[in-house]
Amino acid sequence: MKKISKILIVSISIILFLVSCKESSGKKQKKDTNIENEKTDIKTVAVLNANLATESDLIALGLSSELIAKIIAFRPYESMTDFNEIIKGKDTEELFKKIFVPFNLNTTAEVDFKMIPGIGNRIAHEFEEYRPYTSIKQFKREIGKYVDENEVSRYLNYVFVPVELNTSTEDDIKSLPGVGNRISHEFIEYRPYKNLAQFRKEIGKYVDKKELKRLERFVYLK
């Protein structure tokens, strides 16, 4: 009788142990699934372009009225170096997560890429390694070897690839910061361009001098 009782106790212990293991496994699996879902739900937050942000956009960043007036007055910024001079003394690490002047992927110094939030030595080197870039698609393909799709999308807030005025596709033109359907159409409409003076003359019909100066930074002729 004692032997049977002992066997019964051992059997019940084993069953309870197995049930406990199953529950723990189920909880772990659920936890892993939740983590995966959280990663899937991560959304890339758009970064304001310092040359295009409205006054209300800048107010929403919590900037002082004096700094906002200064930022607007000194536009357009040809580089982050220029913009950085204006916002001296601010917590740039946090601010650059919200507002930036996109870098030219083909001309920016490797060390300057590290001004992009979350960019360290390795990725800054890879940005430089694949030059020259002929399109933003090439950048997405090459850098996509090192980071996931969400991170590549985040980088697009901070960089651009200049377009050749006579040969670039409309999609490549529309990938430029602040260039939409209307202006990309006008870029194409006046082809072939003989020189940049012609570009200034034709596109200057649609935008003011400051915007024309900003757009000229994104184009070149072979």
The whole-number mean pLDDT for each consecutive block of 10 residues of the chain, a chain of 222 residues, reads 51 53 46 35 71 97 95 96 90 93 98 97 98 97 98 97 98 97 98 98 97 97 96
**CA–CA separation, 116 and 98 (whole Å):** 11
Cα of 6 vs its chain's centroid, Å? 66
Q: What fold does the segment set 163-220 form as a domain?
A: DNA polymerase; domain 1 (1.10.150)
Q: Structure pTM?
A: 0.78
Tokens read off for 33: 């699934």
* The pLDDT of residue 194: 98
Cite the residue boundaries of each domain of the chain with CATH code 1.10.150: 45-101, 163-220
Q: Which CATH code is given to the segment(s) 45-101?
A: 1.10.150
